[in-house]
Amino acid sequence: MVILNWNGQHWLEQFLPDVLAHADGARIVVADNASSDTSVAWLHQHFPSVQVLVHAQNLGFCEGYNHALRQLDFRYYVLLNSDVQVTPGWLRPLRELLESNATIAACQPKIRSYHQPAEFEYAGAGGGYLDKFGYPFCRGRLFDTLETDHGQYDDSRPVAWATGACLLVRANAWQALGGLEPEFFAHMEEIDLCWRLQNAGHSIWYCGQSTVYHVGGGTLAKSNPRKTYLNFRNGLALVYKNSAPRDVFSVVATRLVLDWVAALRFLLQGATPDAKAIMRAHRHVWQQRAYWKQQRKLSRPHLTVAQRAGTYAGSLVWAYFARGRRTFPELQIPDGAALPAHGPAHVQPEGQRKV
């Protein structure tokens, strides 16, 4: 279980004790991204049993995890944000889900808000979905509209993506794909990984029998030109490198138009730095088009919109802003191969090596 840390001693002090208390035998590793606070010294003093990997520089979210996991040999990896509060018994249902079906490469628990515990949390909620143009959303969260958890998403089911805030993934699948896309640095990296896993023949699942609480927004502020840049740059690269040949032109063209609309909206709101960030994001993708073309070849995209799990055949932007759809059920997406709330019926143990 790897927690990536960058100047997050306050999160470690708050949440690491619960992680250790409910580790269910998993080894805990903290990968430090060249923090300038006293995180590393504090860990050595207060939790000497925790393995600490110190990076020489801040490698970002993606390479920070990639570099750390290349040094670890386990059957499963857990990627856990430092601002996540785990709960008793949270890990076992995730592990049992992967052990019940060899095609499942990764899964996530239910993600609820730490500050509003009855609500789902933005980053993952009840499992990640994509619309036909690659816009991400979740069961329990459309854009910034969050649902209250009434038990409506207590089942387990295949989804398009599982959140990087708390992700259990098979080590062999992770290593086969090279881990997270290093050029993304941060934001949408787990969506890209899960899309590539689907292209490689795996499935991604949400597990409603496990719950954790996420603070969220611990690295960049919600309104931040840097975050805008990363989201729009990575979003455009994401759909280009992973969309099926029959879909890629229409998807990329539509994304460009909608991005320009978003830039205009920022200008009208007086948020000029965010509008410029979108234009800079497009320019970056164009300048690195040779790299993204090579990554597209490696991804070997072939799954059409209709073939991908966890995909809404319509436009989320249209459904939300034009038709007023504010909750996941209003999108009327077919259930897929959901499991009941009690989880897998049969578990096939995969051996003794732990997370």
pLDDT the model gives residue 334: 85
pLDDT the model gives residue 186: 84
pLDDT at 354 over 50: yes
Please provide the CATH number assigned to the domain covering 2-214: 3.90.550.10
pLDDT the model gives residue 355: 75
The whole-number average pLDDT for the span 225-247 is 96
Higher pLDDT, 84 or 346: 84
pLDDT at 341 over 90: no
pLDDT at 240 over 50: yes
pLDDT tens-digit readout, 39-60: 999 999 999 999 999 999 999 9
Residue 345: pLDDT band with limits 50, 70, 90: very low
pLDDT tens-digit readout, 71-99: 999 999 999 999 999 999 999 999 999 99
pLDDT the model gives residue 319: 97
The whole-number average pLDDT for the span 101-128 is 98
* Averaged pLDDT score across all residues of the chain: 94
pLDDT at 347 over 60: no
pLDDT tens-digit readout, 288-323: 999 999 999 999 999 999 999 999 999 999 999 999
The Cα-based distances of 161 to 30, 130, 259, 318 in angstroms read: 24, 8, 22, 21
**Amino acid at residue number 24:** D
The residue whose two tokens read 């923090």 is 35
Residue 342: pLDDT band with limits 50, 70, 90: low
The segment(s) of the chain belonging to CATH 3.90.550.10 are: 2-214
How many whole angstroms separate alpha carbon 202 and alpha carbon 220?
A: 31
The whole-number average pLDDT for the span 330-344 is 74
**Amino acid at residue number 340:** P
Q: pTM of the entire structure?
A: 0.93
For 354, other C-beta atoms within 10 Å of its C-beta total 14
For 100, other C-beta atoms within 10 Å of its C-beta total 19
The whole-number average pLDDT for the span 275-285 is 98
* Residue pair 218/8 in contact by the 8 Å Cβ criterion: yes
**Amino acid at residue number 158:** P
